[in-house]
Structure 1
Amino acid sequence: MSDVIEVKAVDAAEMESLKTWGWVSYFLHLIVAVAAVVPSAQVSVFLLVVALVIDLVKRGDAKGTWQESHFSWRIRSVIWAGILYVVTAPLWIFFLVPGWIAWTIISIWFLYRIVRGMVAMNKDQAIHG
């Protein structure tokens, strides 16, 4: 069976613009991810919301390019981390230590996804997974 992938022609300036927006989003995600792992280093959720809005707005512009995968990757990372934080929130209410452990694991997973995406972006490669 043959899968057909639609690729859109994009000029170099637009690709660079998308890449710049991608790096801005990755760095905002990275700041939030590092702060989530480092004890008592809190940053505003506002940074994460800004990065998410960038990804949602620019993903359409990246459609059909290798960069589309990065916008989707970051969106999925935020959504899954948010779901996992909400699902494990009761652990904080009932049991402090399990809540701390769960949120630490989620934060490390989120940081891993952001760094993995940044490495692929640096190589001008799509991210899969």
Structure 2
Amino acid sequence: MSGHIVLPEQTERTLNHLVLAVYILIAISLFTALATGIVGVLIAHLKRDEARGSWLESHFTWLIQTFWYSIVGYAVAIVLFFTIIGIPFAAILCAATWIWSLYRLVVGYVSFNQAKALAV
């Protein structure tokens, strides 16, 4: 945790709980068509500034990137779906985006659970 600012204990505890909640919300969104992910990414956007400079900031950024990059992947898949030739590619892209998102959530959570910053 060197190179990071130390937050007041209560602030760090609160942000820690919020990061965990965002991980859970985005993970649930993998199974519920992104509804909870929107809530999670809003929390991450709103609270990232409070965590600025701490190890928790990297987790908020990681979660924000995971959510928005997955939205781009799904959006491209939807566009491909509307072309007859692109339907198989759309299915592959949807599956790849889902697996990539799950991978990022697992890697991020493991790092979070060890109280380590992520390289974003």
Superposed pair shares fold, TM > 0.5: yes
Identify which of 64, 71, 74 aligns with 1:82: 71
CA distance in 1, matches of 2:49, 2:42: 12
- Deviation at 1:11? 1.2
Identify which of 100, 106, 109 aligns with 1:118: 109
Unpaired segments ≥5 residues, structure 1: 36-42
Q: 1:46 to 1:70 in 2, by over 3 A?
A: same
- Deviation at 1:50? 0.4
Please report the TM-score for the alignment, with normalisation by the length of structure 1: 0.83
Is the contact between residue 70 and residue 127 of structure 1 (CA under 8 Å) also seen in structure 2? yes
Runs of 4 or more consecutive aligned structure 1 residues displaced over 3 Å after TM superposition: none
Identity over aligned residues, as a percent?
27
- Deviation at 1:44? 4.6
Is the contact between residue 44 and residue 63 of structure 2 (CA under 8 Å) also seen in structure 1? yes
Specify the alignment match of 2:50 in structure 1.
Answer: 61
CA distance in 2, matches of 1:96, 1:10: 49
CA distance in 1, matches of 2:102, 2:76: 19
Please report the TM-score for the alignment, with normalisation by the length of structure 2: 0.88
Superposition map of 1:1-129 within 5 A: 7-33=4-30, 35=31, 43-94=32-83, 95-129=86-120
Unpaired segments ≥5 residues, structure 2: none
Query: CA-atom RMSD, angstroms?
Result: 1.5
- Deviation at 1:85? 1.8
